[in-house]
Amino acid sequence: MNSNVLTSFSFQSKFVGGEKVELSERQEKIVHIVKENEPITGEKIAEQLDLSRATLRPDLSILTMAGYLDARPRVGYFFTGKSGTELLTEKVKKYKVSDFQSVPVVTKESVSVYEAISAMFLGDVGTLFIVDDNNCLSGVVSRKDLLRASIGNHDLNNLPVHIIMTRMPNITVCYQDDLLIETAKLLIDKQIDGLPVVTETEHGLRVIGRITKTNITTAFVDLILNE
């Protein structure tokens, strides 16, 4: 993405109903007029621009839907005081883990590395979560963990996955109510591809979902393309 696109995205555009909205010169003028004269009716804005109320109607509804203006019946338009960036931030902060999590692929500690590789292929995932006899999280195995074991001259059928996994308490987890943006930050800070979504039980952590870089990408696309 070039920097020009980013700049216009941050400050002068929002996405309404799946359509990218660049503020037109007239819309910029409307925002300015409202800022200076709020509350101001549609009629008065039209007068200042020497246009009819009907001509302005689409612009006013775009500016209201995009969150730049607030419309109050019988009072008029207000400037929300929010920039495109602020409106976007507000929306991102509403995204919860539960809105984007995927189904986890979980295996027992006793399975062999060979079986773990098969589970990874069959489940079409990049991270396997390993559980103990109580079905609680005990470890994580990544693609490279399995690759490393595979090139290590081991008998993969007789090497239990728990020998090579990253184990508790060194597992980074998240919860359904966490903000998605916080999990994105964890993935970056810890340099990992995925997190188990867990709930606490008396025996330990039960895995109920997963958040991966793919989920974060989906959220990003959703943010841009959906109102």
> Which residues are at the interface with ligand ADP (CB under 6 A)?
127, 140-145, 166, 170-172, 191-195
Spatial CA neighbour of 136 closest among 199, 192, 193:
199
Min CB(74)–ligand ADP separation in Å: 54
Q: Report the half-sphere exposure of 152 (CA within 13 A, side-chain side).
A: 13
Is the bond preceding residue 160 a cis peptide, omega within 30 degrees? no
With a CB cutoff of 8 Å and minimum separation 6, the contacts of 81 are none
Cα 11 to Cα 14: distance, rounded to the nearest angstrom: 8
User: Which residue number, 20 or 190, has a Cβ lying nearer to ligand ADP?
Assistant: 190
Q: How far is the CB of 141 from ligand ADP (least distance, A)?
A: 6
Cβ distance to ligand ADP smaller for residue 76 or 194: 194
Instruction: Closer to ligand ADP by CB, 35 or 213: give it.
Output: 213
Task: Compute the least distance from the CB of residue 150 to ligand ADP, in Å.
Answer: 12
If phi > 0 it is left, if psi is from -120 to 50 it is alpha, else beta; for residue 204 that is left
- Which CB atom, from 31 or from 131, has the smaller least distance to ligand ADP? 131
Q: Are strands 127-131 and 106-108 parallel, antiparallel or unpaired?
A: parallel
* Helix H or strand E segment including 222: helix 213-225
Which is closer to ligand ADP, CB of 12 or CB of 214? 214
Rounded Cα distance, 79 and 67, in Å: 9
